[in-house]
C-alpha cells in the first residue's frame, strides 16, 4: 500500500538532532563500476550497485535522515527498502537555484530553509563552491556539505568522515 512520505518544510524541527539530507543518483546509486551482477529491477540497472550495508550505517549516525533527491517519494518506495530504511521524510525541494559552476544547485536554498538553523549534513555528488559559500553566509548553524564521487557513491569512509564531523558539531 502506498503512503505518501511526510514532506519536510521550513520550521519542522522535532529535536536538536542534526538533519542528514541524502541524495540518490550518484550518491546512493553510484554511476561507475563494471562486472556488476544483474539488476533486481531491469527498469533501472543501477539498483544492483547500491551498497546495502549503507542503511544501518546511516541509521547509526544519530541524525534525522531526509531524502533530498529528484526521486522524491519514490526514494521510499524503491531505494529505502533496498537499504533497510524506514519511510523517511522527503525534502520539499522548490527549484529556486540555478545551474552552472558559478551558481547555486537547485536544492541549496530549499535545504537551508528546511534546516531552519538546525545543524545539517548534505550528502550529494553535485555540490559546488557557490553552494558552500551561500550556505556559509545564509545558514546560522553548523553544516557539512559532503560531496561524493558519483562513480563510487557513498562509502564507509564517507560515513566515518560524517561521524567525525558530527562529534564536533553537536551542541
> pLDDT for 60-114, tens place per residue?
999 999 999 999 999 999 999 999 999 999 999 876 555 545 589 999 999 999 9
Q: Decide if 147 is inside a domain.
A: yes
Residue 116 lies in a domain: yes
How high is the pLDDT of residue 4? 41
Q: In what order do the strands lie in the sheet with 90-91?
A: 7-8, 90-91, 64-67, 19-22, 120-124, 143-147
Asked if residue 2 is part of any domain, the answer here is: no
Residue 128 included in any domain = yes
Number of domains the chain contains: 1
- Whole-model pTM? 0.83
For residue 111, being part of any structural domain is answered with yes
In a domain, 129, yes or no: yes
In a domain, 152, yes or no: yes
Residue 135: which domain range? 8-169
In 4-125, which ranges are continuous DSSP H helix?
Answer: 54-59, 74, 80-83, 108-115
Residue 3 lies in a domain: no
CATH number of the domain bearing residue 52:
3.40.50
**Sign of the alpha-carbon torsion through 66, 70, 72, 78:** negative
Amino acid at each position: 500500500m502506498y503512503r505518501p512520505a511526510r514532506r519536510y518544510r521550513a520550521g519542522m524541527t522535532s529535536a536538536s538532532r542534526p538533519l542528514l539530507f541524502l541524495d540518490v543518483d550518484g550518491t546512493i546509486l553510484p554511476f561507475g563500476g563494471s562486472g556488476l551482477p544483474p539488476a533486481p529491477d531491469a527498469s533501472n540497472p543501477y539498483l544492483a550497485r547500491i551498497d546495502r550495508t549503507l542503511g544501518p550505517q546511516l541509521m547509526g549516525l544519530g541524525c534525522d535522515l531526509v531524502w533530498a533527491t529528484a526521486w522524491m517519494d519514490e526514494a521510499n518506495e524503491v531505494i529505502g527498502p533496498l537499504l533497510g530504511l524506514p519511510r523517511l521524510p522527503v525534502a520539499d525541494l522548490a527549484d529556486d537555484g540555478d545551474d552552472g559552476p558559478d551558481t547555486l544547485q537547485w536544492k541549496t536554498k530549499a535545504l537551508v530553509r528546511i534546516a531552519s538553523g538546525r545543524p545539517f549534513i548534505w550528502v550529494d555528488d553535485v555540490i559546488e563552491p557557490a553552494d558552500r559559500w551561500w550556505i556559509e553566509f545564509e545558514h546560522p548553524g553548523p553544516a557539512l556539505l559532503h560531496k561524493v564521487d558519483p562513480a563510487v557513491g557513498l562509502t564507509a569512509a564517507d560515513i566515518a568522515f560524517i561521524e567525525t564531523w558530527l562529534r564536533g558539531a553537536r551542541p
